[in-house]
Structure 1
Amino acid sequence: MAFAAIAFVSLLLIGIPIAFVVGLVSMGLMFDAGGARFMLLVPQRVFAGLNVFTIMAIPFFFLAAELMTASRAIEDIVKFADALVGRLRGGLAHVNIMASALFSTMSGSALADIATLGSIEIRAMETMGYDRRFATALTVASSIVGAIIPPSIILMLYASVAQVSVAAIFLASIVPGALLIGLLMMLVVLLARKYDFPRRERRYSAKEFMTISVDAALPLAMPVIILGGILSGVFTATEAAAVAVAYILVIGLFVKRTLKPSDIPGCMLRAGVMTSVIFMVLATANVFGWFIGLERIPENIAKSLIGVASDPVVLLLLIVGVLLLVGMFMDSGAALIVMAPILAPVAVSGGIHPIHFGIVMALTLVVGLTTPPVGPCLFAAASVSKLRIETISFAMLPFYAIQVVFLLMLVLVPEISLALPRMAGFIN
């Protein structure tokens, strides 16, 4: 395993894609354990990694987000966010956070948030007199809300890997998502007072507010349909994703008529490319997961960690430290797929609820999207804002402090994530 860890890091450092790194290391471990006999199992385990009904929701949710963007529904969402909070001191900063929160109910991805909203938000804030560094840092910090609130792709991956209820983990993410939004808005309030941020002086009339709300109502109804259908048992997460795509097609093509038939092939292509990246990692990681289960590696790690930290809170803090380090160098989705089979059994053995652990693990890795040296959200924001990574990272310091407070709250107060699924009867 020591040789495998060295090989893993070395292949990553020379730029080999994570899916192939996991696959090559896994095949090496399989051959070392059982020779050619075990190598015959590799294709079977690759297929088994993708032969899961739940993960079929992922391409549908990617496609739903692409169709939502192509139909220009995002403009209605930004206007609605501005109508709600634009009059506050630092209004556009609040709009940035609120728009990310609203768009996250459709995209499930932090990178999609920056790619779609980033240029709009940064340009608008800079025009209103905000410093570009602050505008970019806020856009990066608020983007991770997109990876928290349902339909979160990373939470769906955890549900698939750890074999927990998608409905329960989605429900468990709502309060943490709202908490992060609240913490970010509190920080903006403090900074707005200190630096006298501008606000929108013009008031919307009741008629204008009603028009904006009606325009935004149709796209914002999609998350209600998704969550409502899943939680009520009308359809599964995969069926909900397909319903979301059908809903957006009807709205875009026939109701608002902002989506052209010629836009659909491009949306499908982009969704297919994003899906293929995740599915390749899932397929190869299943080989790795099967091997570590065979070698009883999670049990051995559990014994070691529990021997060091028998208290569940201390154990979870140790795991968070490890995940923060991993998240600095690996994409959150890939890191979760690789690490969940190892750490989830450790957490459960230490007395941590699997749903609570899933929320903490996913959100810790999502924080890694915003941290150097390999934070994908930093690079995406740099390409949009034309700022250097170091400049954005320095401007992110107040938001890093908020993220640390957020993670500590999740670790120390499990009911933040467990209260809703417990009240709904999904967990005991």
Structure 2
Amino acid sequence: MLVLAVSLIVFLAIRIPIGFAMGASGLLYFMIHQPALISVLPARVFSGMDSAVMISLPLFIIMGHLMNRGGLTSRLIGFCMLFVGRLRGGLGMVSVMASMIFGGISGSSVSDAASIGQVMIPAMEEKGYPPRVAAGLVAAASTMGMVIPPSIPMVIYAFVASESVGRLFLGSLIAGVLVGVFMMTITLILAHRNRYPAEKVDVSAAELWRCSAQAIPALLMPLIVVGSVVSGVTTATESAAVGTVYALLVGMFVYKGLKLADLPGLFRDAILSSANVMIIIAFCGIFTWILALEHVTETVGLLFARMELQATAALLVVTVIVLLVGFFVDVSPAILLLTPIFLPALKLLGVSPIQFGVVLITGLAVGLVTPPVGMCLNVCSSISGLSIINVFRGAAPFLLANALVLALISIFPELSTWLPALIMD
């Protein structure tokens, strides 16, 4: 394991992409310790991707791209403005609420940050919000994109943990909504303290009907995708296909922001994003095999037993590790690396795989807004023109919402397990 860990760190330090770094360090391990098994490696690499659930991954990515390019953002922001725009700090509240809804459509925090940030960061700056607060709020709010279902990281975790995608979607819903509620509360408190303005909003019946009618096609997306999986009408892969077709029709014929000429570039971006994740998944299969050969999961379980940790205490320890890993490792490889190490040990202590999955995704979401790797931090830095350190300082107060929710779902398993049990059992 020392060879594996040290070689991986060295490969990452010289900027080899993480998927290839994992593959190279795994190959080095087998060359030194298990040369007789090298001939089996190609089969293990391909078996790591051989799952019907993984077909849903590129479909969810395409679905998010289609809705984003189709003209969703402006209509979504107009809809949110009706509800919270008149409050002090209305634009900040709109950013959080729009991110909540957008997260239920795109399944990606990075897409959330890019789409909402391009509109809301300049708008907040014009209204007198400090630039780092405007960029930091959008970055922090985008963390809900991978927690609120449908969620691309949840699909990856479901594949690794052999869990139901529908149950994970339901299990993460309460956590995602709580992050949004707490973040809006923090925004409201800071707005009163710093005298951020309220917005003048037309709330006439005609305007309410207009904005609602424009937003309804987008709001139906998560209901169609998540509802079809939870009800058992479709599998996760089939629901992703249905959602993709629906997004295409809405973007082209309802919002009319999507043109045929946009599709080749859109599909190219989706293919590249999917291929990047699939390469990591493929080579991470070698890592999982090495963990089994070295009995790492049994060692972790024995460590927890010797420390005499109860389920909640062990999960809190793992939560701290997840947060630390999120500082330096992107979401997908972190899920693939941490799940096979900690999930078996936590299951022996009675922790539900659904609860661990929600804790894992919620914790790694914080890493998207922490330097140096944070992808959402970099997106908002690019939009605002600020350094990532300044954006992080602006985001820090709002990340208290994530920290509070992370503690709650670690201590109270019912926040993750109650809704799946209520609807699917």
Where on the TM-score scale, by shorter chain, does this alignment land: which range? over 0.9
Equivalent-residue separation in structure 2 for 1:29 and 1:219 (angstroms): 48
Instruction: For residues 29-83 of structure 1, give each alpha carbon's deviation from its aligned partner in whole angstroms, at most 9, with x where no partner exists.
Output: 2333321x31111111111111110011110111111111211122211111112
Q: Any unmatched runs of 5+ in structure 1?
A: none
Q: Kindly report which structure 2 residues correspond to 1:239-388, keeping only aligned pairs within 5 A, or say none.
A: 239-388=238-387
Equivalent-residue separation in structure 1 for 2:34 and 2:371 (angstroms): 39
The one-letter amino acid paired with 1:318 is: V
Tell me what 1:12 maps to: 12
Equivalent-residue separation in structure 1 for 2:72 and 2:324 (angstroms): 37
The one-letter amino acid paired with 1:253 is: M
> What TM-score do you get using the length of structure 2 for normalisation?
0.97
Equivalent-residue separation in structure 2 for 1:99 and 1:152 (angstroms): 16
Post-superposition shift, 1:401? 2.8
Tell me what 1:22 maps to: 22
Post-superposition shift, 1:271? 0.5
Tell me what 2:103 maps to: 104
Tell me what 1:64 maps to: 63
Equivalent-residue separation in structure 2 for 1:148 and 1:9 (angstroms): 29
Tell me what 1:161 maps to: 160
SS at structure 2 position matched to 1:98: helix
Instruction: For residues 212-236 of structure 1, give each alpha carbon's deviation from its aligned partner in whole angstroms, at most 9, with x where no partner exists.
Output: 1001101111111111111111111
Structure 2 contact 57–152 (Cα < 8 Å) conserved: yes
SS at structure 2 position matched to 1:123: helix
Equivalent-residue separation in structure 2 for 1:139 and 1:252 (angstroms): 24
> What TM-score do you get using the length of structure 1 for normalisation?
0.97
The one-letter amino acid paired with 1:154 is: P
Equivalent-residue separation in structure 2 for 1:110 and 1:235 (angstroms): 25
Equivalent-residue separation in structure 2 for 1:15 and 1:298 (angstroms): 29
Q: Any unmatched runs of 5+ in structure 2?
A: none
Q: How many residues align?
A: 425
The one-letter amino acid paired with 2:191 is: A
Structure 2 contact 81–201 (Cα < 8 Å) conserved: no
SS at structure 2 position matched to 1:198: coil
Post-superposition shift, 1:309? 4.1
Equivalent-residue separation in structure 1 for 2:236 and 2:216 (angstroms): 22
Structure 2 contact 90–198 (Cα < 8 Å) conserved: yes
Equivalent-residue separation in structure 1 for 2:68 and 2:139 (angstroms): 19
RMSD of equivalent CA atoms: 1.3
Equivalent-residue separation in structure 2 for 1:13 and 1:49 (angstroms): 25
Task: Report which stretch shifted further, 226-235 or 1-10.
Answer: 1-10
Q: Kindly report which structure 2 residues correspond to 1:68-217, keeping only aligned pairs within 5 A, or say none.
A: 68-217=67-216
Equivalent-residue separation in structure 2 for 1:417 and 1:165 (angstroms): 14
Structure 2 contact 62–270 (Cα < 8 Å) conserved: yes
The one-letter amino acid paired with 2:25 is: V
Equivalent-residue separation in structure 1 for 2:201 and 2:396 (angstroms): 32
* Misfit runs of 4+, over 6 Å: none
Instruction: For residues 321-349 of structure 1, give each alpha carbon's deviation from its aligned partner in whole angstroms, at most 9, with x where no partner exists.
Output: 11111110000111111111111112112
Structure 2 contact 187–398 (Cα < 8 Å) conserved: no
Post-superposition shift, 1:399? 2.2
Task: Report which stretch shifted further, 254-263 or 346-355.
Answer: 254-263
Equivalent-residue separation in structure 2 for 1:301 and 1:171 (angstroms): 29
Distance change (3 Å), C-alpha of 1:170 and 1:89:
same
Structure 1 contact 87–203 (Cα < 8 Å) conserved: no
Equivalent-residue separation in structure 1 for 2:73 and 2:404 (angstroms): 30
The one-letter amino acid paired with 1:180 is: V
Task: Report which stretch shifted further, 252-261 or 198-207.
Answer: 252-261
Post-superposition shift, 1:374? 1.9
Equivalent-residue separation in structure 2 for 1:221 and 1:403 (angstroms): 26
SS at structure 2 position matched to 1:262: helix
Structure 1 contact 109–146 (Cα < 8 Å) conserved: yes
Tell me what 1:391 maps to: 390
